[in-house]
Amino acid sequence: MLQLHRILVPLDGSGEAESVLPYLRDLAPRFDSRVYILGVGIGGKTRRGNRLLENYINRTTLNLQSHNIKAESAVLYGTAADKILDFTAEKKIDLIIMATHGLSGVTRWWMGSVAEKVISEARAPVLLVQSKHPNKTESADKLRFLHKILAPLDGSSIGEAALPYIETLAIETSASVSLFQVVSLPGVAEASLLSGPDWIKLTKAMQEAGQNYLKSIAEKLNSKGIKTTYEVVTGDPADKIVEYAEQKKISLIAMSTHGRTGLARWVLGSVTDKVLHGASMPILLVRSPKMVIPRPKA
C-alpha cells in the first residue's frame, strides 16, 4: 500500500490558502507524514513582504507542531511554480496540498501557467481544496473529510493512475469508492454518419464495455475490504462528474492526469476547468508515471 511519508503545503499568507490546514491535520497523522510548509518570496530576503512571509510560515509550522504533526518550514525565493517543483523533487514529496479560489479557480500563485506547470510537471499528486475564509473552529480542529471517493475513469491504463492512491486513502479512512465512467455523446458530424438504430447499438455497446471495465476494478477493491460501487452514464463528462459528485455527497474526486495537457483525455481544457470550478469538494489529481518528464537539472 502506498504511504504518504512527505507532504508539501505551499502557503502564500492568505486566509484562503489556509483552507488546506484542516485536511492536512486529518491526513498527516494517519500516515505519520513529515509536512513541509513552503513559502515562495519575490525578490530579496530582506524585503519587508518576504520577512512577513517567513514569520508567517514559521508561526504556521509551530502551530502544526503543537498538534503533534512533524512539520518543517521552508522559504525560497524566485518563481513560485519552479521553486515548488524543485522542492518537490528534492524532498521526494508524496503529496502536494494546495487551495483554490472560488471565482478565479486558483489562488494568486496558481493562476494560468503556474497551475498548469505544477499539475502537469509534478511527480507527486496534487490535492486541490476549494478555498474559503476559515472559521476559528474549523481552523483549529482537524477535519475528517474522507467518506466517499469518486473515481472518474476513461478506460485507459494511464487513466488508472489515481487508483493506488484511492485504495490507500479508502483503506486508511474506511471511505467508500464510487467508480464512474461517462460515455461522451458524438458531435454533429459523427452522429450524422450513423442512423438511429446504429447509434443506439453503438451507445449500448460502449455502456456495456464501461460496465464490464468498472465491474472488474470494483471486484478488486471489494476484495480488499473497500466498499465499491460503479456506474456508467452518457453525456458531457464534466457536467456528469460534478452532478454525480454533488448528488451523492462525494467528499473527494480523485482522477488521473496526463502529461502535456495535465489531465485525462476526456478531462481536457474546458472540461477540466468546469470540474475544478464546478465541484465544491476537494479534487485529487494524480499524474501517471508513464507521462512523467524529468525536470532538467539546474
Per-residue confidence (pLDDT) for residue 298, from 0 to 100:
54
What would the mean pLDDT of 188-210 be, rounded to a whole number? 71
**268's grid cell:** 481536457
Q: Which residues pair with 230 in a beta bridge?
A: 179
Identical fold at 6-140 and 148-291? yes
Which sequence spans correspond to the domains of the chain?
6-140, 148-291
CA atoms in the 13 A half-sphere facing the CB of 286: 23
CB 272 within 8 A of CB 237: no
Task: Give the rounded percent of residues in the chain with a pLDDT score beyond 90.
Answer: 48
Amino acid at 239: D
> Residue 147's CB: how many other CB atoms inside 10 A?
13
- Which superfamily does 6-140 belong to? HUPs (3.40.50.620)
Instruction: Evaluate if residue 149 carries a pLDDT over 70.
Output: yes
Edge-to-edge strand ranges of the sheet holding 176-183: 70-77, 34-41, 6-10, 95-100, 126-130, 283-287, 252-257, 148-152, 176-183, 228-234
Residue with cell 486558483: 106
CB 253 within 8 A of CB 238: no
Conformational region of residue 68, where left means phi above 0, alpha means psi within -120 to 50, and beta covers everything else: left
**62's grid cell:** 509551530
Q: Is the dihedral angle over the CA atoms 183, 151, 255, 23 positive or is it negative?
A: positive
201-244 pLDDT, tens digit each: 877 888 899 999 999 999 999 999 999 999 999 888 889 999 99
Task: Give the rounded percent of residues in the chain with a pLDDT score beyond 70.
Answer: 77
Which own/partner contact pairs does 222-227 have at CB distance under 8 Å and 24+ positions apart? Answer: 224/167, 224/171, 225/171, 226/167, 226/170, 226/171, 226/176, 226/177, 227/176, 227/177
Q: With bands split at pLDDT 50, 70 and 90, how would you rate the model's confidence at 290?
A: low
Reference 215, options 207, 81, 253; nearest CA is 207
**226's grid cell:** 473497500
CA 150 to chain centre: 12
Q: Read off the pTM.
A: 0.85
Per-residue confidence (pLDDT) for residue 15, from 0 to 100:
81
**293's grid cell:** 518528464
CA 285 to CA 122: how far, in whole Å? 10
Residue 211: phi and psi, rounded to 5, are -60, -45
Assigned fold of 148-291: Rossmann fold (3.40.50)
CA 133 to CA 135: how far, in whole Å? 7
Per-residue confidence (pLDDT) for residue 133, from 0 to 100:
57
Between residues 166 and 108, the one the model is more confident about = 166
What would the mean pLDDT of 138-159 be, rounded to a whole number? 76
Return the C-alpha torsion angle 56, 111, 294, 127, nearest 10: 70
